[in-house]
Structure 1
Amino acid sequence: MMLRIARQVARGHPAVLTLVLIVFFAAQIVASSGTMSPLLRGALMAFPLGAMCGWWWAVLVVARDGVGRWDWVFVIPPLLALIAGFAGWPTVNSPVAFAIFLAIFIALTMAAKALEKADAPDGDPSVGRMLATFLLLYLAPLGVWVLRSKIIRVADRSPLTAQA
């Protein structure tokens, strides 16, 4: 079930993620000019992070052919952003911002490494390729377009995802 969902998300059209991110980033800009409820502030901070983390998780699961024991890391950034928004905690130069950054760094490292290992002919990708994939995953509106062919290639090669 989770593999099927991840496969659909990872293979989805890049315009969907791009549109979601643009709409919610624009909503954050508009909402920041006025006063808003803690619930709305938390949701506006968490949803774009949740969309990106969902895509990163899907890439990891498709590249790895299954859900692993560390996949819960992808839930931490949007959850922390939601809690910080509800509580009114600062998310600039604060411990919460560092925790969100650390969770994003770990999640992106896992996803980039899994994708490059699955795509490399010998299963041993270079550090440069992993770093480039890391940056493209981080820049999700651009990376979703650039990495699409690699993600589809990896998903099509996998025997487990072909059965999903």
Structure 2
Amino acid sequence: MIAKIYQLFFQELIRYVTKMTCDKAAAEDIVQETFLRAMEHAVILDDMDERQCRSWLYKTSRNIFIDKVRRESACPEAEEKTETQDDLSQIEVRQLCEKLPEEERILFIKRYFEGFDSTQLSAMYKLPPSTIRSRLASARRKLRMYYPELENQKK
């Protein structure tokens, strides 16, 4: 019976699980685990018709997927963070900030590292919020200009 339901439903299950995972390799792993469980429960599946077996396979694969998601969310450090070439770490940004004029550097750090908004910064430094936003924009422009220099130092 397992060989028969494998032939009937394997590709269908792959498509179903791929839609859930958005990853064909992960889907194949889940479907493989589903059929391993089907082998363990062969006695039960032998008593079912094809429609019931199909339902059992779908439910089992969905439960395996849910268990996998729960395990990954309980242990987030297992997931690797993928970084693009444009990503900058906080350390690199702080290094670049050293090249900014003191006034812009302080505003930039308070805004982007300490979380203050332009209204709060304007109250702290007794400047209009538009002036704060203008200085932050200037700081960002300068940092974009300095970024290629940092990349060249790394090479």
Larger RCO of the pair (alpha carbons < 8 Å, separation 6+): 1
Greater C-alpha radius of gyration: 2
**TM-score, with structure 2 as normaliser:** 0.27
TM-score by length of structure 1 reads 0.26
